[in-house]
Every structure is written in C-alpha cells, then in structure tokens.
A and B are shown apart, each in its own frame.
Chain A
C-alpha cells in the first residue's frame, strides 16, 4: 500500500501520534540519531550517521539493574512508544539480522522491549555514500527488510510505502495525515534505479561463507592484520556488531551493573584470568571479526552479519576496506 505524506504535515506526524521520535540530526559535521521535537530538527539529506542507530535498541552503555548493598532493584520495563524516522534501509536491515541473536534461546529483555515498542520508518537512499555496498549483500537503497514503512523523498512530499502490519496500522489509524499516491511510484522507481547504479563498490559474497571455512589457516590473515591498528572503530560503528562487556559501577553501597559495547579487536576481550589468551595476536582478532560476520553468523543464523553500510571503511584510520578484504579472500 502506497500513500503520500506532504512534508508540511511532518510536524503533526512527530508531535500528534504519541511517539518519541528519533531521527537523524546534524551535529557539527556529522549526523546522529537523536530525539526530535519538530521536522526542522531532522537532516533528510544525509548519507548515513557515523554511529549506527543500533544504539536505540542496544545503547553503548546501558544499566542492567541497580543495587544497594545486597539488594537488586530491577529496572521497570520501558513502555515508551518510539518511532525511528528516516533510518536508512541498511540500518533497519541490521535489526532483522540481530533479532534472532537477541531473541533466540535466552531472550534479551532490554533489546526486545524497545524493539517491540518501536516503529521503523525508513528513508530510501537517493544518493548512496562512497563506501556503500549494500547491493552486494542482497539489499539496496530501497530495501525494506526490517522496516515498517519506507519513505521516498520527492521534494515537497514523501512517497510512503507500507511494509509490515505495524506500518499499515500507522497509516490507517492516522489517515488524515496521508494522501493517496498518484504517479509517485514511477518517480520512485527512477530514483531507485539511479541510486542502485550509483553504488560503485561491489563484492561477490555468493559462496563466501563456505569458502571461508577453507581459509582459517591461510597466511592471508597475517598480511591483512599488518595494517590494522586495532582501534575498534570498525566494530563500534558496525550496525551488526553486538559484543558487549558487563561491568559494575559503584559509589559507596550503591551501584549499577552496566553493559557496554565491547570489541573482538580488543586484546583483553578474550584474556583469561590465568593470563592465557586464545586470540593473542591482531591476526587472530581480525580473522575472528571477519569470520564472525561472513561465516559464523551465517552458520548460526542463516544470514551474513553485514549490511554493506561501509562505516567500517569510512571510519578506518588507516583506510582498510572490508570490500577489498572480502575480494582478497574470495579471490584466493
């Protein structure tokens, strides 16, 4: 079902529907996902945020519970309804990838509650970023995986494409905000084609998970790791990286147990209490990072844990590119 949302109705969408609206906001030279109160807060012309919106469901630092002496105070479950407005399709796809991890076996209540209470309204990409390679991973600038609604920017209006029941309900329950689509779909197709052809970085990942199973002992990892500084940018900024540490913070008798993003590139990440470290070298850690995304995750959850957003490449201080790394591995 397609509809149209005129941009002059955006303020109503943000203020009248009862959601906390989180959207891309320009901060200095970068864009980040923040709570907004009006349409003019939102940066619609961005390529992507530096920090992925995974922080909305899986914050960089999050209190698991508080304690006072020996008494634990569990957090009251969050009930706030959120709308993530203007999220890029690649980032929405990252949630579809992470969902089974956080919901399978043991359920992660923090992630799940926020995820359930949130509607994801995507923004199709008209001008992809220079390191984007989402099309290589079966996605694309108009991919709807993980989204409830997809917006296509058409100047004074958005074409609104509903994806899930949750999205449809939002449209039908607020029909006064939307108009019927007329010839917007055709224009949207042209925007999509232009955007897809503007993506220049590509890599063939067909058969890669199986191929990687044969490369564990290959010397290529040693070469690749030579350049890596071990700074963790690529992991912190990756929308599918989900590793975390759990720590206690204490002041007097009171304290809280928090989880914080961690990185498999961190040498302490696997360091045993005895001093033994199963992944002592950068080679081991880089191999684990790549294999986790392109071999282990597909093995465990049936999907490559990469959305092709290119953040790892854009933010690598020494210019390492995952596209080049995957091409090298695929070419062996």
Chain B
C-alpha cells in the first residue's frame, strides 16, 4: 500500500529572493532525487505540494511553476512561521521533501479558447504564476491574457523581473499596482480591486481567477460581479491551515468542503453557496 504521508526527497537546485525583509518571499526550485520521479511527476496548474523539512515539519504550498516546465517544481514561500523560517535558511543543494500533487487545480482544459484574467495580491500570485506560465506556454489555446497584480509596496511585489519582462510582450497585458505612493512608481497606486474596476475588463468569453488575502478576494469578486462577470466565470484558489493535505486531518474545511482535496480552486458559483468560515 502506498504511503501518502511519506515525502519524496528533493534537492534545491535554484533559489530566488522575490521579496526581502520581514515578509520575505523566496522561490525554491527543487528536483526530486529520484530521477524517474523528477521526470514523470505531473500536475495541473493550481495544484499544491506538501513541502517537508525533516525535523521542522511540513507546509502546504501551491506549485508556483507550470507543468510545462519539466524536471523541476517551484514553490514561492513567504517566511512566516516555524517551517517557513527554517526553509528560508536553506541554500542550494540542500534537501527538502515533497509530497503531492494535491488538490484539484485550475480546469485549464475547460478554459481553452477563453480569455484569462488573473487578479493577484501579494503572495497570492504564486498559484496564478503557474497558470500564467501555462497559458503563455500554450498561448494559441487561449484568448487574451490579462495579469492584474498588486502588493502593499514595491518591496512586496513578487516575481517582479518576470512581470516586467511580460510587460514588454504584446501577447499579455500586465497591470501592476501598489497600495501607497512611492517615489519612482509610475504604474497604478491603489488597491487591487480598485485597479480592476479602473481597467474594467470585459466579461465576454472571459474567466477571472483571483488569489490573495481573504479581504482582497472578497472585494475583487464584488468588483467582478459589478463588471458583469457571472459566478461561473469567477474562480479563486484558497488557503487554509493544513496538516495532511489529503482530506483526513480535518482542519481545512469550509462547511463540508475540504480546501486540500476539494479545492484549493473553487468556482464562485460553488463557493458562494457554501456556508462556512473562509
């Protein structure tokens, strides 16, 4: 019987400091030590992995790269608690464990032919990055790609190098924002939902996917509905405290729905009727 609690060991093959300071974010690129697994491990954008640091514990993170990138996985992790603080101490060539993939992921096949509108805030961009990379790597399968992304300050913006590269391309529109004025910032200043309302993307043949702090998600959904998006055009991906990642340990439920296995991706059409604490 396969044991779902035992992680597969992997080596950190790349590290990128996305955000420095108290709320530091690093992207860990890891490769499974088992070469066969490293090459065969497949997943859907938006799926997650349980990342282990033996002796410290494990945490559930979205895989922040796309399955079109072969041979490695990336996790973009904010330094917050015991495990993530210890993870941030690690260097290239050090060992972590990964189990997964978990959760449902984005229904990218159903979205073929549609415009994709990603609305992210802070570290909430991590699962959206997987989707954005996937759409970019399968560009002809999708319509217009819009990336709305914001953070508290320029120092908190994640994946900035990549986003600036994307700004130069003509097959994706990137709309960045920070919450408060900063010298030298020429893009939008204000909250993400405000930026969304200002840009006012058309709901026609479009799927909107949002991820960020719970309060941002709430106001983004309100803004989308005002723009004419119907609940089945709106998706979000949620996070909850998790231990097992496989629907047994109990804690990540919203009503009868378990974020780890029934989510983390939910259509607003389903989620709006779920009675439970988010």
Q: Which A residues fall within an 8 A CB radius of B?
A: 64-65, 67, 69-70, 72, 74, 77, 101-102, 105-109, 112-113, 213, 216-217, 242-248, 250, 255, 257, 259, 262, 264, 269-274, 276, 278-279, 284, 288, 291-292, 295-297, 299-300
Contacts and interface: CB of A to CB of B under 8 A. Distances in A.
B80 interface: yes
Contacts of B80: 273-274
A169 B95 CA distance: 50
B201 interface: no
Contact of A64 (B5, B56, B256): B5
Contact of A65 (B6, B213, B214, B251): B6
Contacts of B241: 269-273
A202 B115 CA distance: 57
Given A70-B9, A273-B84, A274-B80, A246 B243 contact: yes
A277 to B, nearest CB: 9
A258 to B, nearest CB: 11
Interface in B230-265: 239-241, 243-244, 246-251, 253-256, 261
A72 B54 contact: yes
B1 A106 contact: no
Nearest to B56: A248
B4 interface: yes
A101 B249 contact: no
A246 B244 contact: yes
B277 A284 contact: yes
17 contacts: A65-B5, A72-B6, A106-B248, A245-B249, A248-B55, A259-B243, A262-B243, A270-B241, A273-B80, A273-B84, A276-B214, A278-B240, A278-B254, A279-B277, A284-B277, A292-B253, A297-B256
B240 A270 contact: yes
Interface majority SS (helix, strand, loop, mixed), chain B: loop
Contacts of A70: 9, 54, 95
Given A108-B248, A245-B249, A273 B55 contact: no
Contacts of B95: 70
B2 interface: yes
Contacts of A270: 240-241, 251, 277
A244 B248 contact: yes
B246 A106 contact: yes
Contact of A113 (B1, B213, B243, B277): B1
Contacts of A109: 1-4
B250 A242 contact: yes
B272 interface: no
Interface string B33-73: 00000000000000000000011111100000000000000
A300 B256 contact: yes
Contacts of A259: 5, 243, 249
Nearest to A246: B243
Contacts of B169: none
B278 interface: yes
B251 A107 contact: no
B249 A255 contact: no
Contacts of A278: 240, 254, 277-278
Interface string B100-115: 0000000000000000
A307 to B, nearest CB: 18
B1 A77 contact: yes
Given A273-B81, A300-B256, A246 B249 contact: yes
